[in-house]
Structure 1
Amino acid sequence: MTSTFSTTPGFCPDCGSILPTLKTMGNVVCYNCKKQFQPEIFGSMLTEYTIHFNTYDAEKSKLKVEKEEAEGPVVERKCPKCGHEKMSYATLQLRSADEGQTVFFTCLNCKHKESENS
């Protein structure tokens, strides 16, 4: 039987419906016409991913915190976590242009972060 539709990978060649995602290496069954297809129906859309996780070295992290300076200008603002009186800040325009900017504060002592919409 010839195909009714001229389709791209991921669509049923018989009825034109979107095929379900390929979760296993078994056959793919069309939701609409219930016809089964081999995984090759997706063509070259199959992609292999490799995920690399970062490693955490507590000693290097501790040294970095000790040497690290303020992340921006410093203001007198009390940290809600440790009570330290100085925090650095940075601003970004995250919302619409007619709304205020978002201010991100970082405690110089414990590195606690908080944000404030101005």
Structure 2
Amino acid sequence: MKFCDECGSMMHSGKDEATWVCRSCGHEEGRGDDDSETMTTTEGQSDDGPVDMSEVDDEEIGPTTTVICPECGHDRARYEMKQIRAADESETRFFTCTECGQKWREDDH
């Protein structure tokens, strides 16, 4: 991945594959032979499919916390936090009960 020296946006291959072109500001620069050697692509990588987690105990998958499940009342749940709203707002917490598998989310208001 290459970034534009002028505006910092990601550069893309030009029409002739011998240049880099910035789609934001239009800046172009030559593409050297050594550029491709230092880049990583997904070409040729295999997809081994989904990972079988059936033998793994629920409490061993990700972090857990003490929180009451609204479905069964159990006091442990796995959680993850994701930024699903604007960057200046807090993350949303997603919980999965380790007992019954109930899923719910918690937002700060």
Normalising by structure 2, we get a TM-score of: 0.45
Q: Which has the higher strand share?
A: 2
Larger radius of gyration: 1
Normalising by structure 1, we get a TM-score of: 0.42
Q: Which has the higher helix share?
A: 1
